[in-house]
Amino acid sequence: MVHDGVIEVTNASIGALAPYYPRIDVLNLPFAFASNGAADMTFNGPFGNALAKDIEASLGDVLVVGYPDTGGLFVISNSKREISTLEEMKGIRMGTMTLPSHQAIMKSLGMEAYPLAFSEVY
């Protein structure tokens, strides 16, 4: 809606931004940062500045003013069992965004990806 001029500001998720800016999928790498502090340093440094400039150049009419919590792609939780190893992920049905990258990541971890639109979450 920002891109279309309907609203002026948003805190967009990767899922909402990906249809307009597919390169944002680089942020979908699971476990890319050791901590939220490491992620903050990355996004508040040269990488974050370059990404913001690329987003702005690609979309043409938006201004990136910052990044929300970018330190954790996934919080993997379920009602079946504790997960502390890759082996324990096998067979768990995991809800994902409708992004193909999220589904591929879950499948690569041995989980069953269940894509769900945000409007259907509740």
Domain ranges of the chain: 1-73, 74-122
Residues 90 and 96 sit within 8 Å (Cβ to Cβ): no
- Give every CB contact of residue 35 below 8 A, 6+ residues apart in sequence: 71
Q: Return the DSSP state at 15.
A: H
Between CA 31 and CA 61 the distance in angstroms is: 32
Q: pLDDT of 60-107, one tens digit each?
A: 888 898 887 655 555 677 788 888 888 888 988 888 888 888 888 889
Mean pLDDT computed over every residue of the chain: 83
